[in-house]
Amino acid sequence: MAFANGVEVGDAFEIEGAVNIVTSGAKTYIPMDELVDKKAELARLAKELESAQKQYATTQQKLSNEKFLSKAPENVVEGVRQNAAKLKEHIALIESSMEALSH
């Protein structure tokens, strides 16, 4: 963002033709409609979504396994719960980015 004309911070934005970059801590909109290959970006996001969904499914399997819940230390179980929550949020952000890019 060193060469940005300006930076705006807010809770929500609607920017036509903007590319969304999703991280665990933020969602960035960059108006680059003419500079980004939307098909390639959608493909990249689809791969990222698939990976996050697989990881989330793994956490859900662990959390539904009674043996894991009864034998694992509480801090380990809590770590898996926190990871599941982060993954769920990340999946929602990716899906939102894909939706925005599809327009």
Sequence spans of domains, the chain:
37-102
pLDDT band, residue 17 (cuts 50/70/90): low
The answer to whether the pTM exceeds 0.75 is no
From its phi and psi, is residue 26 left (phi > 0), alpha (psi between -120 and 50) or beta? beta
For residues 75 and 68, give the distance between their C-alpha atoms in angstroms, rounded to a whole number: 12
pLDDT reported for residue 49: 97
Q: Which of 21, 73, 12 is nearest to 4 (CA)?
A: 21
For residues 32 and 38, give the distance between their C-alpha atoms in angstroms, rounded to a whole number: 10
Per-residue pLDDT for 10 more than 90?
no
Question: CB neighbours (10 Å) of residue 85?
Answer: 12
Of the two residues 91 and 32, the one the predictor is more confident about is 91
Integer CA distances (angstroms), 74 to 69, 83, 86, in order:
8, 14, 18
Domain 37-102 is of which CATH architecture? Answer: Orthogonal Bundle (1.10)
pLDDT single digits (tens) 27-83: 777 666 666 788 898 999 999 999 999 999 999 999 999 999 999 999 999 999 999
